[in-house]
Structure 1
Amino acid sequence: MKYIICGGSGFIGRELTEYWLAAGHQIIVVGRKIPEDKQDHPGLSYFTWDNLAANPAAAEGADALVNLAGASLSQRWTSAGKKAIMESRLQTVAAAAKLADDLHHKPAVIIQASAVAIYGTSLKDTFDEASPARVVDFPSEVVKVWESTADESYRNVRLVKLRTGVVLGNDSGAFPKMKLPYSLGVGGKIGSGKQWLSWIHLSDIVRLIDFCVQNPAVEGPVNATAPNPVTNEQFGRMIGKVYHRPHWFPLPGVLLKAAVGELSEILLQGQRVLPSKAVNEGFTFTYPTLQPALEQLKSE
């Protein structure tokens, strides 16, 4: 099979590339620039967006397109930062849609990155793919516009909108930052500790992307979260247990807000999200609960 991964040099994209190369597939990685540490592999090729726009024939015959590209929310939300976050998502959707449209033989499926932020935040509600979008803050606004743009841009193709929670991996993403206070001996709950954290192990989100590609019945929103979300307090205590570090030093919400501004909303608020569609379609999580997931990451 031949797959295009837009944003393939990012955190999830690198893992997905490795997974598909190991399975014998041909991979085209697309990004703003060619990574300096690119792999030398006979099944792997790299293109910038501009390169591929000028030479779309290189992508002919692709069976699926996965678009993981877009600026991270993990930056201070100044006016300029918010604009860059929104524009990067819309621009990459437009570029991926144009690439698909330029092909004589279009991919059978497009996997478009999204996020669980679309449900808004709640301490008591539980959300699945049937839950409505709720625009209550900047992240939910971004994702609502992001998905709407994807619906309008990708035509006549099976579209999966992968609503991702917090992806746990050692090399990048949120987990190294979340673990750092424990490594320094000052780990503890953030704010009230009651806010929900919907998480997924890196290897499971890669397997879920592959599952969505391989199963024609899967389309529309798909929650990429483990079936057992936890509260911030439970998450911190489990880090302390697995890594044998103390869980005692709470971080008041007011201090976090002072340090990072509106970005603190991501850590101080959350939502309990369940992967109902993935489970109902037969996907099996390798790490459905948190402790084995953290133990695996510790063992790496």
Structure 2
Amino acid sequence: MKKILITGGTGLIGRELVKKFKPDYQVTVVTRDPQAARKLLGADVQFIENLESLTDLCEFYAVINLQGEGIADKRWSDRQKLRLEQSRWNITRQLSEKILACSHPPAVFISGSAIGIYGPRDQQAVTESTPIEADDFAHQLCAEWERLAFLAEPKTRVCVIRTGVVLAPEGGALAKMLPPYLLGLGGPLGDGKQGFSWIHLDDIVGIICYLVEHEACQGVFNGTAPTPLAQAEFSACLAKVLRKSHFMKVPAFALKLMLGELSEMLLKGQLVLPERIQQAGYQFRYPELEEALKDCLLPPSST
């Protein structure tokens, strides 16, 4: 049985990915707490506490790098920015270096990134081929993250996934958004015109699996649904699915006061299109927002 190494395996995407891979691969997860991870992921998964315990990565068919502290978990102080950088850059550098040292390297290295690399675009649609001129923190964070992953290219096929907002039945961004909507107090952020690029959890997991299995896939891929929309439209659709009113607005000044620089990520968005993964033949399970939200939020009999 082929072996796969996953960092970030206990996170939102990682947990589902481990489930998906377990029937066909021997999965090894890098985690600081193997005991807790075993309870979460099962005893049929192998665990290591750090990469130093591996002399090389020759035994693995694929390496999937999803590790990184949550981008919107805390206000962006200088200290938090450093944590965000180190949690992504250090592990990615280590993985690339170990792949370069392999006599028989993994067939593929898949590493995370985010659509923040494109910078604020508002209503301008972007694809993987769109020139990038941004220079804000989110861009710098992702650009270095990607550069470190592509260091492994001389030895293996590298795929980088620029992920949008992941919608899931439990946890993630949607769980944080829900409370005001459930109280009938939902509404757009700022003027609501900023682009909102989303993807269902099943599809981001599906894309990763597709990239592992299709040897022709290489380079940068946008991990977003093909129907991004304005944030106000997303907000209205969420209220509709929940059958709640939709009249409140969160003023831009209030977000800036609460979140500081982090608020810019919420108030200035992008309409990101998954051009390359669609050209490669991937078929989205949830291409439309309403069906994705219904799957996440409503019981099966209601969808």
Assess same fold via TM > 0.5.
Answer: yes
Higher mean C-alpha deviation, range 131-140 or range 182-191: 131-140
How many angstroms does 1:279 deviate by? Answer: 0.6
How many angstroms does 1:281 deviate by? Answer: 0.7
Counterpart for residue 31 of structure 2: 31
Q: For the Cα contact (< 8 Å) 2:123–2:194, is it kept in 1?
A: no
Q: For the Cα contact (< 8 Å) 1:118–1:134, is it kept in 2?
A: no
Q: For the Cα contact (< 8 Å) 1:93–1:153, is it kept in 2?
A: no
How many angstroms does 1:8 deviate by? Answer: 0.7
Tell me the distance in 2 between the aligned counterparts of 1:134 and 1:12: 29
TM-score, L = length of structure 1: 0.93
Alignment of 1:158-237 (within 5 A): 158-237=157-236
Cα deviation code 1:251-279 (max 9, x no counterpart): 00100110111111121110010000011
Tell me the distance in 2 between the aligned counterparts of 1:229 and 1:247: 20
**Structure 1 residues 174 and 42: CA distance shift in structure 2, 3 A:** closer
Q: For the Cα contact (< 8 Å) 2:121–2:269, is it kept in 1?
A: yes
**Structure 1 residues 35 and 270: CA distance shift in structure 2, 3 A:** farther
Counterpart for residue 284 of structure 1: 283
Q: Secondary structure at the match of 2:17?
A: helix
How many angstroms does 1:90 deviate by? Answer: 1.1
Cα deviation code 1:29-60 (max 9, x no counterpart): 112332515247464111111xx422447x54
Tell me the distance in 2 between the aligned counterparts of 1:155 and 1:81: 33
Counterpart for residue 48 of structure 2: 47
Q: What count of residue pairs does the alignment treat as equivalent? A: 296
Counterpart for residue 115 of structure 1: 114
**Structure 1 residues 60 and 145: CA distance shift in structure 2, 3 A:** closer
Q: For the Cα contact (< 8 Å) 2:99–2:152, is it kept in 1?
A: no
Q: Secondary structure at the match of 1:110?
A: strand
Tell me the distance in 1 between the aligned counterparts of 2:145 and 2:54: 27
Q: Percent identity?
A: 35
CA RMSD, 1 decimal: 1.7
2:245 is aligned with what amino acid? P
Counterpart for residue 21 of structure 2: 20
Q: For the Cα contact (< 8 Å) 2:5–2:63, is it kept in 1?
A: yes
Cα deviation code 1:7-46 (max 9, x no counterpart): 111111011001111x332100112332515247464111
How many angstroms does 1:180 deviate by? Answer: 2.0
Q: For the Cα contact (< 8 Å) 1:123–1:194, is it kept in 2?
A: yes
Q: Secondary structure at the match of 2:113?
A: strand
TM-score, L = length of structure 2: 0.92
Q: Secondary structure at the match of 2:95?
A: helix
**Structure 1 residues 180 and 87: CA distance shift in structure 2, 3 A:** same
Q: For the Cα contact (< 8 Å) 2:75–2:260, is it kept in 1?
A: yes
**Structure 1 residues 145 and 229: CA distance shift in structure 2, 3 A:** same
